[in-house]
Amino acid sequence: MKNAVPTGSSSVSNGFFRVLGVDPASTGPTGYGIIESDGRLCRMLRYGALKVAPKRQKECIGAVLHDVHALLCRLMDEFSPDALAVESIFTALNMRTALRLAEVRGVVLLAAAQRGVAVHSYSPREVKASVAGYGQADKRQMQLMVRALLQMDETPEPSDAADALAVALCHLQTEQARRRCGLPDKMTGVTLRSQSLAARAATARPGATHNMPRAS
């Protein structure tokens, strides 16, 4: 778990928009990352990956679901995100893996609903295209792009945490594009992809400005 701000801190002002990104996993670590932007600067607040010990999983069949839910509730209570962004289920997965992943994703949605946080879902290809500019980018490319866009001192590890930060960046850029174009909340996807790529480049450029008020 990595912090960029002290534990327990909140948004520095009402001008910040904060996103919690989640990369759910069926067997491996579930990645999480929290970022915020005032429309000019974008920074990482915390990131990490939750790995439930095999022994605990054997002792309790619902250990992963319980621990993921508890973690996300703690993060939302501490950071009060304006939105939660999560990766959608990859359709090419086999049935067993897809079902296990759906269980974890369901817990993510439950935690967000209990805290009244809006959820936005993006496919892996959408996240890669938004952050790296290429829908087939590999994990290393994604880690380096996330580091550059968030101006981090080190490459985010593990890759699950970097993926969660990428999901959060994808939503942040999509939201910026939506507001610039004056589109309603549900207008996402293909319509905003080109705008998201422009936002990606602008976010990484020092001094770039966007209008991104923090939700009330």
- Residues assigned a catalytic role: 23, 87, 160
CA angle 119, 171, 121 (to 5 degrees): 40
What amino acid is encoded at 160 in this protein?
Answer: D
Distance CA 196, CA 172 (A): 9
Residue labelled with tokens 């910026």: 176
Distance CA 73, CA 113 (A): 10
Distance CA 1, CA 170 (A): 21
Query: Judging by DSSP bridges, how do beta strands 30-37 and 42-50 pair with one another?
Result: antiparallel
Q: State the alpha helices, DSSP H only, in the chain.
A: 54-59, 63-79, 95-115, 124-132, 139-149, 159-181, 190-204
